[in-house]
Amino acid sequence: MTTPSITRRIRAPQAGRRTASPTAPLPPRGAWARRAPLLPALLFMIVVTQLPFVGTLVISFMRWNALDPGDRGLAGFQNYKTAFTDPDLRSSMTTTVVLTVAVVMVSLVLGLGLALLMDRKFLGRGVVRTMLITPFLVVPVASALLWKHALYNTSYGLINGSLTWLWSLFGSHDAPQPDWLSVAPLLSVEASLVWQWTPFMMLILLAGLQSRPADITEAARVDGAGAWQIFRYLTFPHLRRYLELAALLGTVYVVQNFDAVFTLTSGGLGTANLPYTVYTTFYQAHDYGQASAQGVIVVALSIIVATFALRTVSSLFREETR
């Protein structure tokens, strides 16, 4: 709202002096005709994503707890001080990193293996692909509920049920029945996320494999290259950009994961990641100032990851536009 009026004020005297048409200092009409289609999307994104963040930044310097409306005012860096000395927030930072790295790496490796398997022709390939895609298409909350209640549950989950059945084959009645979500909480969350994200990785890598020029591989084979050599020197370099794209997009979504942590453990037993911690500070503790400071910290951390990720993408991008 303010930007155009400032521009006009600056330009007005110039235009008056020259007595030319007031649009003269502006770029030629063609440039605006080119930019016009871009503007709605750009403005929309700035208003909906950047302005709220400015709001978060402002609130992060305020003392503002919705449960104590009388005590609202400027807090300086107090919220940041609290946030950094808060052991919960520090542990949730570690959790976020561990969770994201583990899920992205494992699902990337599994996805690569599956993509290589699926790149071959075999009976019922379409059916197998459909089965493999399914976890990605199940609504995340539904899949979290599925893991929590139908698979991990101590008394009637499929995993412990299968253990009972296996043990009974050998005539034993005391099969181990661990409570997976409390024995290995983070690992349980990771397993469910790996199940959900491996198909995503596989789809991107499969697309990469199928865009590989067949004649080069064939030529290498005629020249006597073995399967491993072909993979190492031809397939893998070609796949690299797809691996990077998959890792980047996977990271963007897994870092922000809320559904699995919320549903499976409600952040208990050291599984609270940053988005979940901010959510509880805001939605349960109603400490708006504190939540905003945490949010700003999350953004600062994300910028580090994002700079790294964007550099990767930009190298891909240069390759593509060359």
Partner 1 sequence: MTAAAAPTLRTARTARTAGGTRARRGSALLGLLAWLCGVAFFLPFAWMLLTSLHSEQDAAANPPHLGAALTLHGYREFFGSGTGVSPWPPLVNSLTASLAATLLVLVLATPAAYALSIKPVRKWTDVMFFFLSTKMLPAVAGLLPVYLIAKNAGLLDNIWLLVILYTSMNLPIAVWMMRSFLADVPVAIIEAASIDGAGLPTVLVRIVAPVVMPGIAATALISFIFSWNELLFARVLTGVVAGTAPVFLTGFVTSQGLFLAKVCAAAVCISLPVLAAGFAAQDKLVQGLSLGAVK
Residues in the chain: 322
Task: Name the segment binding partner 1 (CB under 8 A); options: 1-9, 14-22, 101-109, 131-139.
Answer: 131-139
Q: Is 202 exposed, middle or buried (0-12, 13-18, 19+ CB in 10 A)?
A: buried
The verdict on 266 binding partner 1 (CB under 8 A) reads: no
CB of 150 to partner 1, least distance (A): 6
The 74-103 site mask, x for binding partner 1 (CB under 8 A), equals ------------------------------
* Residue with Cβ nearer partner 1 (91 or 217): 217
Q: Which is nearer to partner 1, 102 or 147 (CB)?
A: 147
Decide if residue 195 touches partner 1 (CB under 8 A). yes
Contacting partner 1 within 135-174 (CB under 8 A) = 135-143, 145-147, 149-151, 153, 155-156, 158, 160-162, 164-165, 168
Rg of the chain taking only CA atoms, in angstroms: 27
> Looking at beta carbons only, is 64 or 102 nearer to partner 1?
64
Q: What is the DSSP letter of 175?
A: -
How far apart are the C-alpha atoms of 297 and 53, rounded to whole Å?
12
With CB under 8 A as the contact rule, which of the stretches 13-21, 81-89, 178-186, 215-223 interacts with partner 1?
Answer: 215-223
- Is residue 72 within 8 Å of residue 64, measured between CB atoms? yes
Q: Which of 19, 35, 16 is nearest to 27 (CA)?
A: 35
Please choose, from the candidates 256, 239, 228, 302, the residue with its C-alpha nearest in 3D space to the C-alpha of residue 108: 239
Q: 10 Å Cβ neighbour count for 157?
A: 20
One of 10, 26, 42, 183 touching partner 1 (CB under 8 A)? 42
